């Protein structure tokens, strides 16, 4: 259905009634035009009667255009921009065709035609008024008939969260079209400027903190969330508050429905949180593990996770299983043997080596696997996609098969927000489709689907986490934040792709690790959980912040050729993991400050890993781009 198609109400169609009304309204509009233009009544009536050929043309042309423009397709729910536009278009086009036929066709056949331009202009406006008024009247009659029906008791009382334009649209839809089965009983909004006001006769009652009291007061049956223009963090906070309430929740899909006026009740998406019987909110105890296998545990996020878990759980043993590729660094695990003794074990191995994976599980009595092992850099995936498929897909299969064979308690797949593709407005929820745009994200999405398939087909207890961009200690300097920091410290230019307007959500790695821990222990089998901070920032702004923190000039920024398939924006809704008890502890400024301080204090670490392999990649990826790049305009000489 196109965006301009009238919305069906579910009531019987009424084209015959509307056609009959139009066949009366068309001559009436023309008659009134003569009466207004020529003040003398008898003269007006004579002229009207004499112009019967023009009236016949009007009765032929105008209904045909109305039909072509869909004005007989259905009864309209409520006045909206698309409806007004459709009526205006049909009125103007039908009147113009009528005028053309009047001056050309009738004169050609030497028939009487309307010579007064004033009559024709008046007819245009009166016809438009009758056209809109007739439809409003028919809808009003149907609404009154519906209101008298005894089955109105089945309607649901709805509390709308968000006194926004989307909320306005939802309330208008419900008030004007009773067949939706919803009755708005109030608005809730955290902006105190809205409190006490009315929207379509529905009052703004209070803020989201008062939801439990307001639900009881209004005897609400459902909640409709209409905060589509909010940031992902604001949306998460709203959904987290709503998730604690024992009511169904529906979410307005997005801003596009507001702009097109195409919102209908079937588009209100049912929002599903972890079911009560399996959720942390029900009071169920956390799962406990004595022996974890952390694959890819020598990498950036994996090593931070190992440090976090061994520090938090004194009775936990972790076996780190890592191939030690370029991004896997044994130095990331320094100090753990001395600090934790035999609670920390390292095994060098490839997750694609099924025999070694299974023997490691059996030897150490592993209870659960947390899989960080992956090829993760988008730029490298454009050069050697086969390596990404091998590790991220086949390696995932090997681990899942081992989990199934050894009957482990849980398998957690650490994934990425990039599997969703880009989003222009709002934020992704876990049930959104996967729309990948690079070999890296495609391989991670394939791994996610394989994880889901093993759960559905074999009952393997799995969890998926999808994280946004992490920053913090021990990150290999191919990623944007350590690349910018170390390049600035070395006096090298900072390469910013394209116009620098692509947006990412940056979270501190410890927050990410805490979220993985919570999902591992409290998550529901078969579910995915988004993990992000809502700290959205464009690459150019990020480069400026890093240079400012280091006391370096913006002239170090180089705008370089964009990479293929660059996603413009990522954003995650994290309400689901927040409902399990996760909260963000590092805001962006603190996260970036702590990250920069770590690289300043650990220069020996990052200089050591900038080896021949690193510089080979750097040369292939950036050398030509930097030669052709331009100074950021704000830093260019004037």
The catalytic residues are: 417-418, 440
Task: Tell me which long-range contacts 615-621 makes (C-beta under 8 A, separation of at least 24).
Answer: 617/379, 617/380, 617/478, 618/478, 620/383, 621/379
At residue 311's C-alpha, the angle toward residues 306 and 312, to 5°, is 105
- 156 touches 183 (CB < 8 A): yes
Cα–Cα distance, 188 to 341 (Å, whole number): 54
Task: Check residue 335 and report its DSSP letter.
Answer: T
Question: What does the alpha-carbon distance between residue 363 and residue 494 come to, in Å, rounded to a whole number?
Answer: 47
* 3-class secondary structure, 161: strand
Distances (CA, A) of 20 to 11, 59, 71, 433: 19, 11, 13, 47
β-pairing verdict for 344-348 and 317-322: parallel
Query: For residue 367, what are its two tokens?
Result: 């209870």
Collect all residues with Cβ–Cβ distance below 8 Å to 5 and sequence separation of at least 6. 70, 73
- Listing DSSP states for 368-411 in one string gives EEEE------HHHHHH-HHHHHIIIIIHHHHHHHHHHHTT-SEE
Label the pairing between strands 503-508 and 469-471: parallel
User: For the CA atoms of 190, 572, 267, 206, what is the dihedral angle to 10 degrees?
Assistant: -10
**Torsions phi, psi for 490 (to 5 deg):** -90, -5
Instruction: Please give the distance of CA 471 from its chain centroid, rounded to a whole number.
Output: 23
């Amino acid at each position: 259905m196109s965006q301009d198609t009238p919305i069906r109400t579910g009531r019987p169609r009424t084209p015959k009634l509307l056609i009959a009304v139009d066949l009366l309204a068309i001559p009436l509009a023309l008659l009134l035009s003569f009466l207004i233009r020529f003040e003398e009544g008898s003269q007006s009536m004579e002229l009207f009667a004499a112009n019967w050929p023009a009236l016949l043309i009007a009765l032929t042309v105008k209904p045909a255009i109305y039909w072509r423009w869909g004005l007989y397709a259905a009864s309209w729910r409520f006045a909206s921009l698309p409806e007004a536009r459709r009526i205006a278009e049909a009125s103007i086009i039908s009147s113009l065709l009528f005028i053309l036929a009047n001056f050309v066709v009738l004169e050609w056949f030497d028939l009487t035609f309307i010579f007064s331009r004033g009559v024709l202009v008046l007819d245009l406006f009166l016809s438009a008024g009758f056209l809109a008024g007739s439809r409003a009247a028919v809808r009003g009659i149907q609404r009154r008939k519906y209101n008298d029906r005894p089955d109105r008791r089945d309607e649901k009382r709805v509390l709308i969260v968000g006194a926004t334009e989307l909320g306005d649209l939802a309330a208008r839809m419900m008030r004007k079209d009773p067949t939706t089965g919803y009755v708005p009983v109030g608005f809730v909004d955290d902006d105190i400027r809205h409190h006490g006001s009315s929207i379509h006769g529905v009052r703004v009652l209070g803020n989201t903190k008062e939801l439990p009291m307001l639900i009881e007061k209004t005897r609400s049956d459902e909640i409709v969330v209409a905060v589509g223009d909010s940031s992902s963090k604001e949306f998460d906070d709203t959904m987290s508050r709503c998730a604690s309430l024992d009511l169904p929740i529906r979410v307005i899909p997005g801003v596009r429905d507001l702009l097109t006026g195409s919102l209908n009740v079937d588009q209100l998406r049912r929002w599903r949180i972890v079911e009560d019987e399996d959720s942390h909110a029900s009071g169920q105890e956390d799962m406990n593990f004595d022996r974890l296998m952390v694959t890819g545990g020598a990498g950036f996020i994996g090593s931070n996770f190992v440090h976090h878990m061994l520090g938090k759980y004194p009775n936990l043993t972790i076996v780190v299983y890592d191939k030690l590729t370029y991004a896997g660094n044994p130095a990331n695990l320094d100090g753990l043997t001395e600090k934790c003794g035999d609670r920390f074990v390292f095994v060098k191995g490839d997750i694609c080596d099924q025999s070694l994976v299974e023997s490691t599980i059996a030897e150490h009595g592993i209870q659960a696997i947390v899989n960080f092992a992956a090829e993760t850099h988008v730029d490298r995936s454009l050069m050697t996609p086969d390596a990404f498929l091998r590790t991220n897909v086949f390696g995932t299969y090997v681990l899942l098969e081992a989990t199934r064979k050894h009957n482990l308690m849980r398998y957690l797949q650490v994934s990425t927000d990039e599997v969703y593709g880009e989003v222009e407005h709002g934020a992704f929820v876990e049930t959104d489709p996967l729309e990948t745009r690079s070999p890296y994200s495609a391989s991670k999405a394939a791994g996610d689907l394989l994880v889901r398939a093993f759960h559905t087909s074999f009952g393997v207890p799995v969890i998926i986490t999808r994280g946004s961009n992490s920053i913090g200690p021990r990150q290999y300097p191919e990623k944007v934040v350590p690349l910018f920091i170390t390049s600035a410290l070395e006096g090298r230019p900072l390469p910013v792709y394209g116009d620098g307007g692509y947006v990412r959500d940056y979270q501190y790695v410890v927050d990410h690790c805490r979220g993985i821990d919570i999902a591992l222990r409290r998550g529901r089998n078969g579910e995915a959980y988004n993990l992000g901070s809502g700290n959205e920032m464009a690459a150019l702004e990020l480069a400026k912040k890093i240079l400012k923190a280091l006391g370096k000039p913006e002239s170090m920024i180089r705008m370089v050729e964009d990479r293929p398939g660059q996603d413009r924006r990522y954003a995650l809704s994290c309400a689901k993991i927040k409902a399990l008890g996760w909260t963000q502890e590092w805001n962006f400024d603190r996260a970036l400050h702590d990250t920069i301080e770590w690289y300043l204090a650990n220069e020996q670490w990052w200089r050591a890993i900038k080896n021949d392999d690193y510089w080979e990649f750097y040369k292939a990826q950036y050398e030509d781009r930097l030669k052709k790049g331009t100074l950021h305009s704000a830093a260019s000489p004037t």
